[in-house]
Each structure stands twice: as C-alpha cells, then as structure tokens.
Structure 1
Amino acid sequence: MSIRFDGKVAIVTGAGNGLGRSHALELAKRGAKVVINDLGGSRDGSGASSDAAKAVVAEIEAAGGEAISHGANVAVYSEVEDMVQQTIQKWGRVDILINNAGILRDKSFSKMSLDDFNLVMDVHLMGSVNCSKAVWDIMKEQQYGRIVMTTSSSGLYGNFGQSNYGAAKMAVIGLMNTLGIEGAKNNVRVNALAPTAATRMTEDILPPEVLAMLVPEPVTAGALTLCYEDAPSRQILCAGAGGYAISTLFETEGVYLGPDQQTPEAVIAHWDQICDTSQHAALETGFKQSEKFLLKAQQYLNEK
C-alpha cells in the first residue's frame, strides 16, 4: 500500500524548520499542495522572518511540487483567517491541518512569569484552536478533513520546568477528543502526535549523541499516518527514533460506596480497590463516566 495525498491541500504550521518542515516536504513529495506557515520567530517566540518558510516553498517547487508560504501568527485569529482564505483562493479547499507551531519558555513554576505562561498557552493551545476553527466549517462542508494536534510527553506525563508547555500540550488532547466526536459525522478526523525529535525545541536539552538519533523523518511517518484518507480518529500516537506507541487515557472500574459510606474516610479505606487497574477501560466520552457511576448506584439500590 502506498500512501498518497494527490489532490489534497494541507496547511502545516511552524513548517519553516524542524518537524514542520519535514511534515511539509513529505506531504508535498506524496502529492499534496502545501501551505508553509511560519512566523519565523526564535524558539522563545520573539522576532519574525519569512525566510525559512520561503526556503521550504522553494525546495518543494524545485522538486516539482506546489506550495505557498504564509507568515500568520497562529495566536492571532485574524491572521490565521487570512491564511485560510488565501489557501481557498489558491486551491479551493483545505483537507489537512497539522498544528505544529510552538515555542518554549521553560522555567520552574516558582520562577515562571504569568506572561511566559500565557504566551506558551496562546501559541500551543489557542494556536491549535484558531487554526482548527478557521478550517472547521470548510472541512465539514466538503465532508472531509484531517487535523493533527501536536502534543508532548511533557503534557501527557509532566516534565520539570515545563508547566506552561505541559499544560498547553495536555489541553490539546481535550480539544482533540471533543473535535473528534463533533467531526465524526462529517468525516473530519482529529488525532494527536506526541513527537520525540531533535529540533530547535530540544537542541539545548539533549546531548549530541542522543540528538543524532532523533531525526524528524520517523516522526513525520507518524504524522502522515494520522492525516491520510484512512486515518484513525481520537488517537494519541507517540513517535521518535523509529519507535511508535499509542498513549491512551484509562479509568479504573472503581467502587460504589453507599450513602452512609460517602466520606473521605471510606474513600481512603477503599483506596486500593479504587486504584485497581485489573478492569480498567478507556471511556468513549465524558458522559460514559457519569453513566458508569449511575449504573453502580442503581445496582446498589436494586440490591437493597
């Protein structure tokens, strides 16, 4: 089976360097028309330049592909709208969105300013919201859309000094889960990629010998898996250094405590049973949790 994107139009944010560049080049190589979005700022979000995005466009065109660049700041909705409008004017549709743009402002929570916290949230979370919102109705109307959020192990599991980044990266999972439900009837599938790669975001964090193993291409293979025609939906794919895994949110079966036992003392007394993972399960929607607890309560009443 060969994965192709002929006739598809893709927007990749933060595509001037690193993973975004890799995603864009591979999409174009496989037939997609690609919008190279990049504000051109530094790793901490300061500054702006169109040079990197234009260089990626030139590389795609030199290989016989089609691409345009746009310098929208993903945190500014009016700029994102302009990018999407230009895409529609150029090619008439948007089939794929990869929300990849990001910045870092790492510090321990004690030392981190709220400005740095808000800025990272704006780029990672609101940037993903803005771009997804700008293409959402287009994808619904054309009955086709593939959206990839970029999450991180820092969000899924935590990482010292990255409370802002981790909060934003976990927030896009909540966005993915809900958009995946809402888009299902219109063939709009939404997934998340948790990459590990050597990029500007990690160059000062990992030693050179490790960075050499973390090339972007294996991560891009995961990204394209999440946005091709037969892609899954509401999956978190972890990818890096040739390794691939799915991260899933599970909930234990838990216990029901009768009205006379609904106290913190009783919860603590049953803690081992509450934490027992032998019957844990993934829940399809948030309501499934309420349904589970209500069924337990009803069963208790029936047995009285």
Structure 2
Amino acid sequence: MSTLLDGRVAIVTGAGRGIGRAHALELASHGAAVVVNDFGVSLAGEGTGESPADEVVAEIREAGGRAVANGADVADFDQAAAMVRQAVEELGGLDILVNNAGFVRDRMLVNTSEEEWDAVVRVHLKGHFAPLRHAGAYWRSEAKQGRPRAARVVNTSSGAGLQGSVGQSTYSVAKAGIAGLTLVAAQELGRYGVTVNAIAPVARTRMTEGAFPEMMAAPDEQGGAGFDAMDPANNAPVVAWLCSEEAADVTGRVIEIEGGRITLETGWRHGPAVDGGARWEAADVGPALRRLIAEGPVPEPVYGA
C-alpha cells in the first residue's frame, strides 16, 4: 500500500458507484481512512433503498484499509454537518473532502421544469456548499486552536460547466457554479492551510452512458482491446495527488481529466478592452464591441453545438 495519504482522513461524497467509488478506493489504497458517502439514489435522484456505500466500505476493509459508510443527503445542511462530525468522531479528524455527488435530469431549456431545475442545482451546487461549509468551519477552528491541518478539497465540475452542453442547461449552470465556488473557497480557506481545487472528469458512468453512448463505450465494445479512456478510475490518481501534502502549492485550479490526458483549464479571463473615457452612446457601442470581438479569441464550442 502506498503511503502518499497515510494517516489522513477523507470524506468522498457520492462514493457508492462510478467516479466517487474509484476516488474512495484510490484514496484508501494510499493510506487514507475514508468516509464513504452515498445517499442511494437513481440516476434521476430518486431514493432506491440501496446501500452501495456499504459495498465500497467492505472492499476497502478487505484490502486492509479503514472506512465507514455514510448515507447523508449532502445537500441537507444538518446532514452534511453530521457527516463531518462522523469523520472526526469515528476516524479521528478530517483532512480531505472530495465533493462528487450528483445526478442529471437532462432537458432542453424550454422543456425544463422548475422541479428539475431546483433538484439538479440543489444536489450539485448546494451539495458542494454544505459539506464544504462545515468542513471549512472545522478546519478554521482547528487552526485557531493551534492544530492546523494540511486540508484538501477537490470539487467536481464538468466540461458542461466550463464550455456548456446543449440539453444540459441546468447541469451546466450547477457545474459552472461549482467552478466559481472553488475559486472563492481557495482564497478564503487558504489562510487556514486548506487548498481547494476542482476536476472536470470524463468517464463512463450512469450519468454519461445514456447521453453519449458511442463515446462512452469500452474498448472491446469499440471493436478492439486497449486502454479504456472512459474508465472512471482514470480520474482517481489525480485526485489522490491533489489530496496529498505534496500539493500544498496548488489551489484554485480546475483540471480536466480525459483518459490519460490532463488539461489545466484557464476559465474566464479579461480580454480586449476599450475605454471611451465617458458614458457610451448606444449607437457607438456596436462598432466598438465588434472590434473587440474580432480581436479576441474564438470561444470554445458548446458541447453538442
């Protein structure tokens, strides 16, 4: 077993299946004790009564690691607080938070219901905020009492949130919000020794195989054996390193992972500008703005455009 994360305690949300499961197993393989969170829901976010977190916990323990299951709804403020307390009380502290839980309800914008919008934004965006808020408060308290922890947060954004995705307006908005939350939290929590980064993973999961069936096929389904670029486990080693004490100087970054390719996303930046020195006349705005557009880079294409 690797010692990269030896002695560290982690929470991984949505860790019963797919990308989250791979994160939990990877962190445990490097020595971390893991709170394996999974609410047990369907792809659309409906309760199923299943306990996939228990299976992951059993797998970690069979390999000689330490893990406990947690069934919290991460978007419930009080349940998120209890999850942080569980890590501290049962595993001895908290050093790592990997926010991964989520689901999709894909619709074109004009077909999206209010309930679908609220549900997706709640589980992704509030489901990142609530655990991060309580973990951050714990780390601040530890630092103020002279026990600073080399804490790490890895959030989960998406290419849909960074470039947009046709038919996924709600999901794209939530994932864009997570990227913004990552930037602010990195600055606010840095004074307590906490780094906050985000990944934009590409993988074959319940959330992607229905939307992109050809792209998400395994190598043998594509007609040949070889490296499976869509394996959810491809993302986990990057997360493990970001969660290590070695990564103390990396914060406020969004990293896309696709198979063996790692891309540092650059996000919104100030582009070409013009200052008229006074309030603009409406008739003059068009020519000025068109010149700036001509000078600036062509935007990344929206997925599905």
If the TM-score is normalised by the length of the shorter chain, which range does it land in? 0.7 to 0.9
Separation (CA, whole Å) in 1 of partners of 2:176 and 2:286: 28
Asked if 1:180 corresponds to 2:186, the answer is: yes
* Matching residue's letter, 1:173: A
Worse-superposed segment, 30-39 or 207-216 = 207-216
Separation (CA, whole Å) in 2 of partners of 1:264 and 1:118: 37
List structure 1 segments (4+ residues) > 3 angstroms apart after TM superposition: none
Separation (CA, whole Å) in 2 of partners of 1:253 and 1:114: 37
The DSSP-based 3-state class of the residue aligned with 1:259 is coil
Shift of the alpha carbon at 1:273?
4.4
* Matching residue's letter, 1:221: P
Asked if 1:196 corresponds to 2:212, the answer is: no
Equivalent position of 1:247 in the other structure:
265
Separation (CA, whole Å) in 1 of partners of 2:33 and 2:48: 24
Separation (CA, whole Å) in 2 of partners of 1:177 and 1:234: 5
Distance 1:32 1:143, change over 3 A: closer
Equivalent position of 2:173 in the other structure:
167
Separation (CA, whole Å) in 2 of partners of 1:145 and 1:8: 9
Asked if 1:274 corresponds to 2:292, the answer is: yes
Equivalent position of 1:77 in the other structure:
77
Separation (CA, whole Å) in 2 of partners of 1:58 and 1:147: 25
TM-score, normalised by the number of residues in structure 1: 0.86
Equivalent position of 1:45 in the other structure:
45
Q: Choose the corresponding residue for 1:258, options 260, 273, 277.
A: 277
Separation (CA, whole Å) in 2 of partners of 1:48 and 1:85: 25
The DSSP-based 3-state class of the residue aligned with 2:190 is helix
Separation (CA, whole Å) in 2 of partners of 1:204 and 1:81: 33
Matches within 5 A, 1:136-151: 136-140=136-140, 141=142, 142-151=148-157
Separation (CA, whole Å) in 2 of partners of 1:208 and 1:163: 22
The DSSP-based 3-state class of the residue aligned with 1:204 is coil
Distance 1:73 1:48, change over 3 A: farther
Equivalent position of 2:225 in the other structure:
none
Separation (CA, whole Å) in 1 of partners of 2:157 and 2:3: 24
Shift of the alpha carbon at 1:245?
0.3
Matches within 5 A, 1:1-304: 4-140=4-140, 141=142, 142-207=148-213, 210-212=216-218, 213=228, 214-231=230-247, 232-249=250-267, 250-259=269-278, 262-275=280-293, 276-277=295-296
Which segments of 5 or more consecutive residues in structure 2 lack a partner in the other structure?
143-147, 219-227, 298-305
Which segments of 5 or more consecutive residues in structure 1 lack a partner in the other structure?
279-304
Shift of the alpha carbon at 1:270?
2.0
Equivalent position of 1:295 in the other structure:
none
Separation (CA, whole Å) in 2 of partners of 1:210 and 1:16: 20
* Matching residue's letter, 2:265: S
Separation (CA, whole Å) in 1 of partners of 2:217 and 2:276: 51
Shift of the alpha carbon at 1:44?
0.6
Distance 1:239 1:209, change over 3 A: closer
Judge conservation of contact 2:3–2:31 (CA < 8 Å) in 1: no
Q: CA RMSD in A?
A: 1.7
Deviations 1:259-294 (A, max 9, x none): 16x23333322225433348xxxxxxxxxxxxxxxx
Judge conservation of contact 2:95–2:149 (CA < 8 Å) in 1: no
Shift of the alpha carbon at 1:91?
2.1
* Matching residue's letter, 1:257: G
Paired residues, number:
276
Identity %: 38
Equivalent position of 1:285 in the other structure:
none
Separation (CA, whole Å) in 2 of partners of 1:254 and 1:3: 50
Judge conservation of contact 2:38–2:51 (CA < 8 Å) in 1: no
* Matching residue's letter, 1:256: D
Shift of the alpha carbon at 1:221?
2.0
Judge conservation of contact 1:239–1:245 (CA < 8 Å) in 2: yes
Deviations 1:182-240 (A, max 9, x none): 11111111011001000111121223564313001221122223222132101010002
Shift of the alpha carbon at 1:174?
1.3
Equivalent position of 2:303 in the other structure:
none
The DSSP-based 3-state class of the residue aligned with 1:258 is coil
Q: Please identify the structure whose Cα radius of gyration is greater.
A: 1
Distance 1:168 1:189, change over 3 A: same
Higher relative CO (CA 8 A, sep ≥ 6), structure 1 or 2? Answer: 2
TM-score, normalised by the number of residues in structure 2: 0.86
